[in-house]
Amino acid sequence: MTVTEDYIDASGGDWDDVIEKAQATSAERLVVNMGPQHPSTHGVLRLILTLDGETCTEARVGIGYLHTGIEKNMEYRTWTQGTTFVTRMDYLTPLFNETAYCLAVEKLLGITDRVPERANVIRVMMMELNRMASHFVAMATFGMELGATTVMTNGFREREMILDIFELVTGLRMNHAYVRPGGVAQDLPPGTVGKVRELLKEMPKRIQTMRKLLDENPVYLARTKDVAYLNLPGCMALGVTGPLLRASGLAWDLRKAKPYCGYEDYEFDVPVSDGGDVYARYRVRMAEMEESLKIVEQCLDKLEPGPVMIQDAKIGWPAKLALGPDGLGNSPDHIAHIMSSSMEALIHHFKLVTEGFRVPAGQAYAAVESAKGELGCYAVSDGSTRPHRVHFRDPSFTHLQAVAAMCEGGTVADVIAAVASIDPVMGGVDR
Amino acid sequence: MSTENERERDEEAANLPDKLGRERLAAPVRRTGMFGATTTGDTSGYGGLQVRGSAPVHSQRPFTDPDDPRTADFDRVADDLEAALGDDAGAVERVEVARGEITFHVRREALPQVARVLRDDPALRYELCTGVAGVHFLDDTGRELHAVYHFRSLTHNSEIRVETTCPDADPHVPSIVSVYPTNDWHEREAWDFFGIVFDGHPALTRIEMPDDWHGHPQRKDYPLGGIPVEYRGATVPPPDERRSYK
């Protein structure tokens, strides 16, 4: 703690000391630490704010508290094992992480066109459900930070419906490692379509409830309208994409611009707003959820029976897994085959799983429109069974740079709204 | 007509097996042996195996492959970039087209100029830079550190990669934060993890690792770390020391 004639640095130390020393000086500027353990910093984000009374004159962002070395760790595992790591980056959008990674690996392998149709439809469906789940958390935590606990409980309740589907399909609520290079880990278990149809029937009502609660709510409007404004040139300069960019008036969406996983075959709109403020971002996210519902419905119609993993014995793992009480289990048919009828198949399976497949040397960049923006995966192979380098361009990482532009000159209360509207997840930021 | 013949002759010469073989042998050795055994003897007979990396790819025009829609605008982009760079066209050392992606390998001194042209030239208009990724190749002597940038044009819906290199002995690359402010944190990340110094960056400090950290963790000569784990009397070594396939 330092106190000078000019400012009071209260970024550490005992509050009693700070107050005592602050009373002895005429300085008005206060430097405070918000986080890294603050409930409204979405994990472990540290904001260093310079306050002049209620006004925030400078906002600095400190990150790195959740760095776990995922990119480095992946260089010591096979390409398939990589999905287990990437799913843990931005833990609210695990299926986007996995898909971006697998698209990059598939591009390196040159098998993009050979991924089965059914696998692509399942990927799209899971991603769109994930988009809704992520937006619900964005809305819920935002509500909580503004003191609206009903929004929080509602948001998490709605998200739970989606997580139930994830649990049914992948065996886990989070950290799925479901999307794999060449397809997905296993087919949809029986009863999935029915459960998704139930969700499609129920979810519009739930979204409507949330809209009723917030769309015209005077308190909500007062906290969000014209707050944390960022215009289109600002977005471009700072590399801001996703709902934030669309809330600044540009209908840019990778699903339309550079379709992947067959997005060109789906009919949906790209919601856009020109408010450029927190409220516009809220409206865009809400509208996106409604569009996601449309896509999920089309996915169900497109689901044709077929394989869900590439029909290439050198790459595809067995994908007919039995769902046990403890999650995804073994593949009984495959085990019977390798253990009792074919020695070669056993050798092959052993090689594929322990050694992994070789990926031709080279580099590839694949990007998906995640719930937060452009999630890019840059993968480099040196021709071996492990990545030479995998780098993720996480949207949250890039977007946090915009905090200063959004907050400086506003009130300290608006800092909370600004950070919440960015919807950063530190797992993805720090990786 | 004579130039046509000359070009054909050059192309033929470039594809001679002898030349290709020599190029291949000049390429750096990427790995030796088949298995990751460094402590025990490799009894497989593959211990002396040398796997070489591929020689640098020089793609020749046309860059656009009519059978691959992903490459549709590559010739246009290359022409526009060449025209926009004018006298500085030598900034682009070589162009590589692979897997439906185009990579411009740029001399590091020319990077800010290339970035400015990419952003400002109306024919190019790469408004969005999705950051820089460092890559470390221990065996690429004199060009160990690579800085890889991806640019996206929203106007023309186009995507390109720009790659530049610097040696470990002189790890400097000019910063492009003044052109693309979004690269602020990305360059700090590449400095933090690879030790690439981005000259001209407004505040090049560590971003993910603690400020007093020694070394740059994602370099290939930096160990993964980890401790052996004991389980029921047996010891499992940390991942980077395990015997495994390479």
What is the per-residue pLDDT across B8-19, written as a single tens digit (0 to 9) for each? 666 666 677 887
Average pLDDT, chain B: 84
Domain B56-241, CATH number (from 3.10.580.10, 3.30.460.80, 3.40.50.300, 1.10.287.3510): 3.30.460.80
pLDDT at A26: 73
pLDDT at B89: 76
d(CA B58, CA B55): 9
**B137 contacts in chain A (CB < 8 Å):** 388
Task: Report the candidate in A313, A254, A309, A248 with the shortest Cα–Cα distance to residue A284.
Answer: A248
Q: Which one is predicted more confidently, A173 or B50?
A: A173
DSSP-assigned letter for residue A6:
S
Q: Hey, are the CB atoms on A76 and B239 less than 8 Å from each other?
A: yes
pTM, rounded to two decimals: 0.89
Nearest CA in chain B to A426: B208
Query: Contact at 8 Å (CB) between B174 and B198?
Result: yes
Say whether pLDDT at B177 is over 70. yes
Task: Report the candidate in A266, A253, A287, A225 with the shortest Cα–Cα distance to residue A368.
Answer: A253
Say whether pLDDT at B125 is over 60. yes
Nearest CA in chain B to A400: B185
- Chain A closest-CA separation from residue B51 CA (Å): 9
User: Cα A10 to chain center, whole Å?
Assistant: 34
CA A55 vs CA A48, A239, A425, B101, B165: distances in Å: 14, 26, 26, 47, 44
β-partners of residue A323 are A328
pLDDT at B41: 57
- Chain B closest-CA separation from residue A193 CA (Å): 34
Q: Hey, are the CB atoms on B128 and A239 less than 8 Å from each other?
A: yes
Tell me how many residue pairs between chain A and chain B have CB atoms under 8 A apart. 120
Q: How confident is the model at residue B38 (pLDDT cuts 50, 70, 90)?
A: low
Q: Hey, are the CB atoms on B150 and A378 less than 8 Å from each other?
A: yes
**B182 contacts in chain A (CB < 8 Å):** 237-240, 398, 401
pLDDT at A306: 87
Q: Is B33 on the interface with A (CB under 8 A)?
A: no
The residue among B150, B176, B221 with the most chain A CBs within 10 A of its CB, best to mutate, is B150
431 residues of chain A, pLDDT tens digit each: 666 667 777 766 677 877 777 777 777 788 888 877 776 667 788 888 888 888 888 888 989 888 999 999 999 888 999 999 999 998 999 999 999 999 999 999 999 989 999 999 999 999 999 999 999 999 888 888 887 888 889 999 999 999 999 998 888 888 888 999 999 988 888 889 999 999 999 999 999 998 888 888 888 888 888 888 899 999 999 999 999 999 999 999 999 999 999 999 999 999 999 888 999 999 999 999 999 999 999 999 998 888 898 888 888 887 777 766 666 667 777 888 888 888 888 888 888 888 888 888 889 999 999 999 999 999 999 888 889 999 999 999 999 999 999 988 889 888 888 888 888 888 889 88
pLDDT at A201: 92
d(CA B246, CA B238): 16
Query: Contact at 8 Å (CB) between A99 and A261?
Result: yes
Q: Which one is predicted more confidently, B68 or A401?
A: A401
**A76 contacts in chain B (CB < 8 Å):** 224, 239-240
Per-residue pLDDT averaged across B63-86, rounded?
A: 86
pLDDT at B217: 92
Q: Is A293 on the interface with B (CB under 8 A)?
A: no
DSSP-assigned letter for residue A393:
E
Q: Which one is predicted more confidently, B26 or B71?
A: B71
Q: What is the pLDDT of residues B181-234, one digit of tens each?
A: 999 999 999 999 999 999 999 989 999 999 899 999 999 888 888 888 888 888
CATH superfamily of domain region A70-315+357-430: Cytochrome-c3 Hydrogenase, chain B (1.10.645.10)
- Chain A closest-CA separation from residue B137 CA (Å): 9
Q: How confident is the model at residue B173 (pLDDT cuts 50, 70, 90)?
A: very high
Q: Hey, are the CB atoms on A361 and B206 less than 8 Å from each other?
A: no
Give residues 167 to 206 of A whose Cβ lies within 8 Å of B. Answer: none
> What are the structural domain ranges in chain B?
1-55, 56-241
Give residues 50 to 79 of A whose Cβ lies within 8 Å of B. Answer: 63-64, 67, 69, 71-73, 75-77
d(CA A167, CA A176): 9
Query: Contact at 8 Å (CB) between A118 and A104?
Result: no
**B181 contacts in chain A (CB < 8 Å):** 237-238, 401
Q: Is B154 on the interface with A (CB under 8 A)?
A: yes
ipTM value? 0.87
Q: Is A360 on the interface with B (CB under 8 A)?
A: no
Instruction: Provide the token pair at B235.
Output: 């010891």
DSSP-assigned letter for residue B28:
P
**B27 φ, ψ to 5°?**
-70, 150
- Chain A closest-CA separation from residue B160 CA (Å): 10
pLDDT at A166: 92
Please report, as a single letter, which amino acid is at residue A134.
S
Say whether pLDDT at B1 is over 50. no
- Chain A closest-CA separation from residue B105 CA (Å): 13
Judged by DSSP in three states, A391 sits in strand
